[in-house]
Amino acid sequence: MKVPKSMRTYCPKCKTHTEFTVSIYKAGKRKGAKKGERRQASRKKGYGGQKFPEQHNQAKVSKKQTLVLKCKECNYGMMRKGMRVKKLEVV
């Protein structure tokens, strides 16, 4: 699916419709020193490795992707609800 680089939608900060730039959300880089990572490492320590099941056989062929919108006038950022598409690109 192709989405336009910019779209016009309601900005809650400007309280009117404005132009927004569109990009695709990407998860941030994993940092080893963060709390969740440290907790997972301590859980996995010692005998009996993985503490909860890892998913191997995925039923779905698409992945939920989120659009990140940013107001061109006030820089207010928001996200659109994730949609299931095989391929998403900003044109």
Q: Does 73 bind Zn ion (CB under 5 A)?
A: yes
Q: Does 85 bind Zn ion (CB under 5 A)?
A: no
Both tokens of 57, joined, read: 């056989």
Q: Does 74 bind Zn ion (CB under 5 A)?
A: yes
Shortest CB 42 distance to Zn ion, Å: 44
Shortest CB 58 distance to Zn ion, Å: 38
Q: Does 13 bind Zn ion (CB under 5 A)?
A: yes
Both tokens of 77, joined, read: 């950022």
* 50: helix, strand or coil: coil
Q: Determine whether 20 is exposed, middle or buried from the number of CB atoms within 10 Å of its CB (0-12, 13-18, 19+).
A: buried
Q: Which residues 42-71 are close enough to bind Zn ion by CB under 5 A?
A: 71
| Cβ within 8 Å of residue 20, ≥6 positions away | 6, 7, 8, 9, 11, 69, 70, 71, 72
Q: Does 14 bind Zn ion (CB under 5 A)?
A: yes
Q: Does 8 bind Zn ion (CB under 5 A)?
A: no
Which residues would be at the binding site for Zn ion (CB under 5 A)? 11, 13-14, 18, 71, 73-74, 76
